[in-house]
């Protein structure tokens, strides 16, 4: 028996029509210029998206060809977000922060035919261009293309000139909702970046989730400040969600430093904002010495990395702004979970909920899988790798089989933690960093935080090292504070109060400096290599 309901394709064109139609006059994209803002109504964005689509057709973009963007968060990037998928092509947002060789790889791998580039990013893009094998057209937005040397066979266009003569309506094609709409590569640290190809369906459903009251609660009444880059997991879905419900959106362009962020908040009065913890840390530090009115913010969304509880408390207690902790990744569109406490939670219990990664919504099924593949209970204690599935979760990478990451319809997130009976996810480690000791898992992050609680310790890194009896045991590498002293036995005694006995590390080493990655995270791969090469002087306690 079939239902008598319409199919009602879930497509970007529908989002485009809704934002530019009924919300066309009231909603705006507001782009920061460094000194103030430029504004464009969603009706104008809709007209210009139609012009862009005509222009791209004119450049020969047909079918599902890829159109790259090498852009900051701004109005023109929003136009490309809407026009490219709605016309049936595929938007490829290029992460300007990848290493040049990775950028070249992803453009060639996705076979981008056209790239839209911000004029301010031309110095960076120009260096890549000679290596890009499939790019036929470069469209420069926001100013001239001065200084760009185009290789043979590549044409350079000015965005505004290209749009100027085009019709302001476009007959958006009917598309299969499962067809490709946009793609985004994750920045692998060990291998080549991997591409995730979002469908119209996945983006549409994800946008609804962003606007659900238990999601980010985005509504027509909002003005969203999208600090998280549009080349980073689709700016967490804000541009599409805002267009779907007619929320205005504030775009910082290239002004991502705390000073301008605070200034644009005071000037444009966004009601919500989304960014990684380090951005918010900088904003708080800036506000402490250079006060601005940020009272328009009803909520601030933090994700991309675990948010320090102190950051959440400062926002709430000093500025009256609740922080919504969210978890997700490029492969999850990215909204996986948000930490809205259950009704009625108060006090420290409330903070515990809010510091967790939150609850997975109906659209994201989750399970914890232990070391030997068994599915673990949601008891708030059993620790395993989180696996997820659902209509906005990736099933594969583009043209790059990775059976390690996907199995039985589940995505292995690489995140390790536990889930409470009421569904609150608490991540404790990355799977590759967890220590697998006698069938039990020990969180390296948890041990690090506890060792760093000792007054003599500046930094502590924990890795798993081979152990005959337990298969793996934790090794703690300690950087002492200048002029402070502590030995392994003292530090272990210090842990005894807060760490289960079987988790207490027996391997200790003292190092002058912690190896770190280019973005300042502990480089455990390097520490492991030092250990394997015999470069560490390790003490073993009994």
**Residues recognised as catalytic:** 186, 331, 436, 441
- Closer to a second copy at the Cβ: 375 or 395? 395
Enumerate residues 74-93 that contact a second copy by CB under 8 A: 90
Residue 398 in the binding site for a second copy (CB under 8 A): yes
Residue 160 in the binding site for a second copy (CB under 8 A): no
Residue 403 in the binding site for a second copy (CB under 8 A): no
Residue 10 in the binding site for a second copy (CB under 8 A): yes
CB of 389 to a second copy, least distance (A): 6
CB of 416 to a second copy, least distance (A): 20
Give CA separation, 230 vs 213, 254, 326, 527, in Å: 23, 12, 17, 33
d(CA 364, CA 358): 12
Contact 417, 386 (CB under 8 A): yes
Residue 147 in the binding site for a second copy (CB under 8 A): no
Burial class (CB in 10 A: 0-12, 13-18, 19+), 307: buried
d(CA 62, CA 49): 16
d(CA 303, CA 324): 8
Enumerate residues 364-383 that contact a second copy by CB under 8 A: 365, 378
- Closer to a second copy at the Cβ: 190 or 213? 213
Helix, strand or coil, per DSSP, at residue 397: coil
Enumerate residues 225-264 that contact a second copy by CB under 8 A: 244-245
Q: Which stretch binds a second copy (CB under 8 A): 275-283, 362-370, 458-466, 471-479?
A: 362-370
What the block records as the tokens of 156 is 């350079």
Enumerate residues 464-523 that contact a second copy by CB under 8 A: none
Interface characters, 422-441, with a second copy (x: CB under 8 A): xx------------------
d(CA 349, CA 435): 29
- What's the distance, CA 244 to chain centroid? 21
Tokens 């933690």 -> residue:
417
Identified binder of a second copy from the candidate list 77, 157, 232, 359, rule CB under 8 A: 359
- Cite the DSSP H helix spans in 235-332: 238-245, 258-268, 277-289, 309-319
Residue 409 in the binding site for a second copy (CB under 8 A): yes
What the block records as the tokens of 369 is 């899988």
Enumerate residues 15-44 that contact a second copy by CB under 8 A: 15, 17-18, 21-23, 25-26
Half-sphere exposure of 76 (CA within 13 A, CB side): 21
Residue 396 in the binding site for a second copy (CB under 8 A): yes
Residue 168 in the binding site for a second copy (CB under 8 A): no
CB of 428 to a second copy, least distance (A): 19
Interface characters, 193-232, with a second copy (x: CB under 8 A): --xxxxx-xx--x--xx-xxxx--xxxxx-----------
Residue 349 in the binding site for a second copy (CB under 8 A): no
Contact 65, 110 (CB under 8 A): no
């Amino acid at each position: 028996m079939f239902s008598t309901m319409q199919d009602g394709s879930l497509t970007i064109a529908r989002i485009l029509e809704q934002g530019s139609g009924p919300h066309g006059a009231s909603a705006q994209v507001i782009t920061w210029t460094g000194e103030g803002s430029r504004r464009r109504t969603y009706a104008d964005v809709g007209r210009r998206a139609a012009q862009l689509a005509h222009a791209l057709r004119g450049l020969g973009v047909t079918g599902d060809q890829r159109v790259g963007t090498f852009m900051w968060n701004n109005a023109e990037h929003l136009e490309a977000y809407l026009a490219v998928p709605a016309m049936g092509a595929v938007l490829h947002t290029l992460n300007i922060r990848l290493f040049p060789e990775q950028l070249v790889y992803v453009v060639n791998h996705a076979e981008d035919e056209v790239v839209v580039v911000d004029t301010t990013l031309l110095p960076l893009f120009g260096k890549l261009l000679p290596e890009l094998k499939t790019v036929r057209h470069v469209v420069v937005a926001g100013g001239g293309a001065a200084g760009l040397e185009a290789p043979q066979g590549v044409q350079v266009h000015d965005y505004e000139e290209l749009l100027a003569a085009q019709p302001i309506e476009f007959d958006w094609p009917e598309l299969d909702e499962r067809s490709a709409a946009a793609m985004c590569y994750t920045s692998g640290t060990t291998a080549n970046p991997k591409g995730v190809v979002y469908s119209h369906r996945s983006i549409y459903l994800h946008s609804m989730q962003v606007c659900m009251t238990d999601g980010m609660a985005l509504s027509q009444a909002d003005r969203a400040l999208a600090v998280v880059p549009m080349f980073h997991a689709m700016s967490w879905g804000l541009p599409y969600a805002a267009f779907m419900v007619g929320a205005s959106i504030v775009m910082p362009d290239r002004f991502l430093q705390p000073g301008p962020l605070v200034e644009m908040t005071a000037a444009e009065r966004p009601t919500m904002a989304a960014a990684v913890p380090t951005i918010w840390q900088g904003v708080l530090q800036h506000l402490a010495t250079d006060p601005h009115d940020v009272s328009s913010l009803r909520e601030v969304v933090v994700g991309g990395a675990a948010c320090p509880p102190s950051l959440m408390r400062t926002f709430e207690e000093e500025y009256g702004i609740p922080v919504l902790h969210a978890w997700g990744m490029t492969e999850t569109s990215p909204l996986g979970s948000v930490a809205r406490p259950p009704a009625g939670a108060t006090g420290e219990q409330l903070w515990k909920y809010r510091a967790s990664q939150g609850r997975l919504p109906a659209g994201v099924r989750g399970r914890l899988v232990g070391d030997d593949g068994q599915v673990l209970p949601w008891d708030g204690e059993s620790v395993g790798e989180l696996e997820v599935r659902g209509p906005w979760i990736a099933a594969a990478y583009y043209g790059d089989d990775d059976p390690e990451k996907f199995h039985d319809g589940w995505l292995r997130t690489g995140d390790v933690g536990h889930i409470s009976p009421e569904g609150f996810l608490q991540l404790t480690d990355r799977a590759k960093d967890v220590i697998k000791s006698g069938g039990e898992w020990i969180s390296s992050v948890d041990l690090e935080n506890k060792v760093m609680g000792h007054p003599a310790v500046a930094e502590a890194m924990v890795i798993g090292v081979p152990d005959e009896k337990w298969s793996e045991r934790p090794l703690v590498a300690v950087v002492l504070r200048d002029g402070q002293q502590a030995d392994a036995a003292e530090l272990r005694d210090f842990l005894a109060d807060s760490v289960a006995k079987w988790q207490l590390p027996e391997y200790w080493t003292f190092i002058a400096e912690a190896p770190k990655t280019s973005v300042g995270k502990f480089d455990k791969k390097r520490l492991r290599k030092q250990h394997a090469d015999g470069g560490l002087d390790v003490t073993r306690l009994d």
